[in-house]
Amino acid sequence: MPSRKSPVELFEEGQRVNICAPMVRYSKLPFRELVRNYNVDLCYTPMILADVFKSSTYARDSDFTTNERDDPVIIQFAANNAKDLVEAAELAAPYVNGIDINCGCPQKWALQEHIGAFLMTEPETVRDMVHSVKAHVDIPCSVKIRIHPDLKETYEFVKRAEAAGADFITVHGRTRKQKSSEPVNLDAIRFVKEVASVPVVANGDVFSLTEAEDVFDKTGVNGVMAARGILQNPALFAGDKHTPWECIERYIKLALGYGTNTFIFHHHLMYMFEDVMSNAERKTFNCLSSVPAILDHLEKYWDLDVARVMA
């Protein structure tokens, strides 16, 4: 298998690295392939539970599909101990360019499982995880974090992760308790960039290329990651203000070509059409319940030519 480019080399090139965020359900292979057409340099898989991934072939096959075009890609794991993480990382390593540890998921079930944002209060556990991955797997290991209410704790956390060998750090500039409607703290991201000796990626509230440029300039980071913005407009990093029609066609071709479940297919299209459909149409569209019904709607009202798209 040809060797894959390290994401660290991307950061060393000195340009802003445009990144598609890990998104449960959504940042799967068809979407990753889609956004790579629109100036995305690096993609993440959705968060995958390390203990499930390492124990079940079925889970591995359903949680993670990839191919030779899916490069560079980082697999993101949620784990609460180094052993599960290393076993999952060893299985994934031949197919990915890096392993990321989720320290940001704020959902109740995740906190109960001691994964995700729970780890922001467990810097020693994260240090052990990074250290163990680096000792067993020869590809970069990164952490995706949130900020603490007291940035001194973020400083300590980052320093421990770095000392254990973390190759880069992504900072979602909100605390665990902040809602996504609250503005992201760019000063905190800049603080992390200033104190870190490894590359830093900024995450939060990037909905356009102008905002990506702005975050990059204001924080001095190495890369900018978008989640909700790129769901709504996969061509965000190419400078399109709204999802271009050809992007929708490309998504349909990729999703149907690879095979997708109806929920994910429908929701991707709901996001992409969010700001272009009228309220009345959106109400109808969002209630459709099968792939044929969705395609019929787009053929009728948007002149989609499924036969041409799939040819």
Ligand X SMILES: Cc1cc2nc3c(=O)[nH]c(=O)nc-3n(C[C@H](O)[C@H](O)[C@H](O)COP(=O)(O)O)c2cc1C
- Answer yes or no: is 144 a known binding residue: yes
Place of tokens 């905190």: 188
Which is nearer to ligand X, 11 or 26 (by Cβ)?
26
Give yes or no for residue 17 binding ligand X (CB under 6 A). Answer: no
Of 105, 141, 247, 287, catalytic: 105
* Amino acid identity, position 52: V
Separation between Cα atoms, residue 258 and residue 43, nearest integer Å: 18
The least CB distance from residue 156 to ligand X, in Å, is 21
Whether 114 has a binding-site annotation, put simply, is no
Q: Return the range that interacts with ligand X (CB under 6 A); candidates 99-107, 119-127, 156-164, 299-307.
A: 99-107
**Binding flag, residue 21, ligand X (CB under 6 A):** yes
Our CB check for ligand X shows the closer of 228 and 306 to be: 228
- The number of helices, as runs of H, and strands, as runs of E, in the chain is 16, 8
105 is catalytic: yes
Beta bridge partners, 201, equal 170, 223
Q: Does 22 bind ligand X (CB under 6 A)?
A: yes
Tokens of 51: 């203990």
| Dihedral angle sign, alpha carbons of residues 171, 176, 181, 185 | negative
Q: Is 26 in the site for ligand X (CB under 6 A)?
A: yes
Segment near ligand X (CB under 6 A); pick from 53-61, 185-193, 225-233, 272-280: 225-233
Distances (CA, A) of 59 to 37, 44, 67, 74, 224: 28, 18, 17, 18, 30
Q: Is residue 144 near ligand X by the rule CB under 6 A?
A: yes
Q: Is 22 annotated as a binding residue?
A: yes
Instruction: Please provide residue 94's backbone torsions phi and psi, each rounded to the nearest 5 degrees.
Output: -65, -15
Which range of residues in 20-28, 58-66, 133-141, 255-263 is near ligand X by CB under 6 A?
20-28
Residue 234 binds ligand X, judged by CB under 6 A? no
Rounded to the nearest whole angstrom, what is the least distance from the CB of residue 45 to ligand X in the complex?
A: 8
**Choice from 30, 106, 140, 204 touching ligand X (CB under 6 A):** 204
Give the ranges where the chain is alpha helix by DSSP (H): 7-12, 29-36, 50-55, 57-63, 82-92, 108-112, 123-136, 151-164, 186-195, 209-219, 228-232, 245-258, 262-273, 279-286, 291-302, 306-310
23 annotated among ligand-binding-site residues: yes
**Does residue 102 belong to the site contacting ligand X (CB under 6 A)?**
yes
Assess contact for 77 and 89: CB atoms under 8 A: yes
Binding-site positions for FMN read 22-24, 76, 144, 172, 227-228
Q: Which residues bind ligand X (CB under 6 A)?
A: 21-24, 26, 46-47, 76, 102, 104-105, 144, 172, 180, 203-206, 226-229
